Amino acid sequence: MPNTIQFWLSYNNGAERLQLPVNPEYIQISQQHRYDDVLVSHLGEFTIIGDAKLRDFSFSSFFPRDYHSSYCEYEGVPDPWATVEMLERWRDSRKPCRLTVTGTPINYAVTIRSFEIVPEKHGAPGDIYYDIALKEYKFVSIRQIDMSAKKSDGTAKVKKTATRGGKKDVPKPYVVKKGDCLSVIAARYGLKTRDVYAKNKAVVGPDPNRIYPGQKLVLV
């Protein structure tokens, strides 16, 4: 029975994606809030609680040279050096990736902040061990002022234009492919897993973790 916990990294709205061949032992998630301490004369010190900062994710694992059923998540594991080069290319592209862990709420756009590798360890020829640190990424938009179009009071109209990100065109219907799962499909198109399942419960059945190639899903 396949593991319901799968670690996925994807790039360019799911055009390229990688399921980690060996699941990390754990993933560490940290998030801080901003606090400003203000000293008011005759009243003392007060704390102003600010907004939450972006989440940080980190984990360690390795890319195996050969498939071993005892720890690999699937057969046909990717070449370790090719995988390293792909992740480095994603990191250097100045574009965000997406981290998804199926069976959990983890589904975030992220940037690769550090990626350190150990090419080989004694007794593990060809395997590449790595530590990776990711940071949550928030898509932003800017406002454009249209000076040619004015409101009745003489002020300029403001257009809101997305500068980065956005959802990829969603196929209608989506045909399930080998290796797909609902959380990965949802992440690929910027949707929520529970919403995709709710629209396709009659097709998927009572277990959202079991879908099969050839099934047709309605995403929008």
Do residues 134 and 60 touch, judged by C-beta distance below 8 A?
no
**Is 0.75 surpassed by the pTM of this model?**
no
CA distances from 8 to 16, 97, 116, 165, 185 (A): 11, 10, 18, 19, 11
Q: Where are the domains of the chain?
A: 6-136, 174-217
CATH topology of domain 6-136: Elongation Factor Tu (Ef-tu); domain 3 (2.40.30)
CATH of domain 174-217: 3.10.350.10
Residue 166: band (very low, low, confident or very high) from pLDDT cuts 50, 70, 90:
very low
First and final CA of the chain: distance in angstroms? 30
pLDDT in tens, 98-139: 999 998 999 999 999 999 999 878 778 899 999 999 999 988
